[in-house]
Structure 1
């Protein structure tokens, strides 16, 4: 089984969710939750973005976490210096690689990007840092330049590279092709960082893994810019259930971690949220309830006990005798179908409606 590493960016990209504010104590709670979940790496912030970010990163480093703590940086030596001052031993360097970003945002050219990358990686390696090199807007970059960019990163000592679908325009098919193409040219690990603008980030992240990506970049509950990033809980369960990949996460803590993040962020978990939503293991339909009571595998993709959750059977307009018999039984009434005419069930459903 191939090992897949989780680099969680809840404390960096997740904090960029509009309306979400993490105070230092909040960040420490989130780090502790991620440690309990056994995440491999935590992207703990952007120290160069201000004094508060510096203090937050220092506080996280002082916890001496088991996970690797990585600092986000622009490809600037002054950013790296601030990360080092905050205690960073590992850094993420980000440079735009699409022409629209290079020209319209930076007013630079491709040559400047490559030369700047060489200079900053060289500085980082002199400081004995672990270096991840990100390509902002990789999904819109010219393919040959993107390959050149990542090959240069490898040549100058980067420990891994990160493909970024910055505006969330990929689909699983071209994600697979993009990652496959880059993997052919590199010996160092590849990470995938996706956004959910078109609702495909989880599928794209899995496609990236299928194509050979070694790291997945996630946030708890999919927090992040605009429509968010890849939800840790979703890709974790997909990888676990595929039985093709080994992950270090302790799955029984996923629900707890999501609830902690929801409370801290004020980001409510929708009832129909995959994996951790309130309705995920809740059955109202009479046909489904009857099936679940005979064999849970009929209508559940996995045992809720894996996540330390319980299934529920409720009664509503689409329910049948199986629902009512089950609920009455839980309350001590030992009845059979003969004891519960269909007309009684229909009357109760009519009263609900």
Structure 2
């Protein structure tokens, strides 16, 4: 499965956001260095900022640069005039969206989309298509679109309102897979039910060829499938290799968020400071010998850092292990004195706890 990062376009649609061109360029290059296949850097029809971003990125990245466009010739031209690698056309496909958002019949939508794809190809471009609200659309209606534009490289199915779970995603994709090659199908999930990461993994297991992701899930409402969670979950479960630089994942995602002025919670999966921090006496004592006792993965694999915290909650077993690691004699008196010192001076990281062990025993 190939990954397409949509942070810079989806994140910019959040209320109160207006990322600058320089912010987007810095982030796009960081994501490119991470090894992503595609970076959807903007929606050029919306103005000069995204036009500049795509123009400056074009031809300078290993990732293919995608510009978003409605199925309108002027939107297509706005993307192609930047020399972006891919035009990502989007169009409504469910009855509700056709009626309430697009205001067109299904036949009019087919004609509109086919014309836009043809315009992309006439100008020598590459077209991808995203079908909005696809997962709430009968499979036969999606297949009708696929049959009308067989020359499109990827047809992405969007769970636009985040209404699907791994079970329903897999059932839907299995149905489509009876008629189409899922290797040229993409998926785009929203996290309204907190299933966006699991839904990407379900799609990968079904054989889907591409998935949209965003750093920390930045995107409308509850956001999209988080890049970092998708990569780590797939890596830990050994389900799929996305070809990204795992050792740079956490630093790159944090860098992108800092550049965009976005905050993240300390308890956020993968990125949060506390997800690889341990203070419980039982946990830390075991982890001094074997960190995997209380970890799903070594955070250093993905560029993170483990932090063991010692203080008042550290028991005698943990104190004995720390004293031993500090290279000092472990006696009952030393353990008692050290346990009291930890309560007085903690919480401390591992290095600080070892220094305190040496200092405490040295005073005895």
TM-score (ref. length: structure 2): 0.87
State the alpha-carbon separation in 1 of the partners of residues 254 and 164 from structure 2. 30
Q: CA deviation at 1:182?
A: 2.1
Q: CA deviation at 1:305?
A: 2.0
Residue 315 of structure 1 aligns to a residue whose secondary structure is: coil
Native 8 Å contact 2:324 2:330 kept in 1: no
Of 128, 142, 164, which residue of structure 2 is paired with 1:132? 128
Structure 1's 344 and 159: CA in aligned 2 closer, same or farther, altered over 3 A?
A: closer
Point out where structure 1 has 5 or more consecutive residues left out of the alignment.
none
What does residue 361 of structure 2 align with? Answer: none
Native 8 Å contact 2:185 2:210 kept in 1: yes
What does residue 7 of structure 2 align with? Answer: 10
Of 196, 199, 213, which residue of structure 2 is paired with 1:201? 196
Residue 88 of structure 2 aligns to a residue whose secondary structure is: strand
Native 8 Å contact 2:186 2:208 kept in 1: yes
Q: CA deviation at 1:345?
A: 5.4
What does residue 236 of structure 1 align with? Answer: 231
Bigger-Rg structure (1/2): 2
Q: Deviations over 1:160-196 (max 9, x none)?
A: 1101000101011001112222233223511111001
State the alpha-carbon separation in 2 of the partners of residues 225 and 263 from structure 1. 19
* Residues 61-76 of structure 1 aligned to structure 2 (within 5 Å): 61=58, 64-76=60-72
State the alpha-carbon separation in 2 of the partners of residues 158 and 277 from structure 1. 39
Native 8 Å contact 1:180 1:212 kept in 2: no
What does residue 354 of structure 2 align with? Answer: none
What does residue 179 of structure 2 align with? Answer: 185
Of 59, 78, 83, which residue of structure 1 is paired with 2:79? 83
Structure 1's 13 and 223: CA in aligned 2 closer, same or farther, altered over 3 A?
A: same
Residue 27 of structure 1 aligns to a residue whose secondary structure is: helix
Point out where structure 2 has 5 or more consecutive residues left out of the alignment.
348-364
Structure 1's 191 and 124: CA in aligned 2 closer, same or farther, altered over 3 A?
A: same
Native 8 Å contact 2:323 2:330 kept in 1: no
Native 8 Å contact 1:176 1:207 kept in 2: yes
What does residue 286 of structure 2 align with? Answer: 291
Residue 245 of structure 1 aligns to a residue whose secondary structure is: coil
Structure 1's 319 and 168: CA in aligned 2 closer, same or farther, altered over 3 A?
A: farther
How many residues are aligned here?
345
Structure 1's 326 and 224: CA in aligned 2 closer, same or farther, altered over 3 A?
A: farther
Greater helix share, structure number:
2
State the alpha-carbon separation in 1 of the partners of residues 32 and 85 from structure 2. 18
| 1:35 aligns to 2:32 (yes or no) | yes
| 1:166 aligns to 2:163 (yes or no) | no
Q: CA deviation at 1:244?
A: 3.5
State the alpha-carbon separation in 2 of the partners of residues 168 and 342 from structure 1. 56
Native 8 Å contact 2:251 2:303 kept in 1: no
TM-score (ref. length: structure 1): 0.90
* Residues 1-353 of structure 1 aligned to structure 2 (within 5 Å): 4-61=1-58, 64-154=60-150, 157-187=151-181, 189-315=184-310, 318-324=313-319, 334=328, 336=330, 338=332, 339-341=334-336, 344=339, 348=343
Native 8 Å contact 1:191 1:214 kept in 2: yes
Structure 1's 124 and 5: CA in aligned 2 closer, same or farther, altered over 3 A?
A: same
Structure 1's 295 and 327: CA in aligned 2 closer, same or farther, altered over 3 A?
A: closer
State the alpha-carbon separation in 2 of the partners of residues 337 and 311 from structure 1. 29
State the alpha-carbon separation in 2 of the partners of residues 337 and 285 from structure 1. 23
Native 8 Å contact 2:154 2:186 kept in 1: yes
Structure 1's 327 and 309: CA in aligned 2 closer, same or farther, altered over 3 A?
A: farther
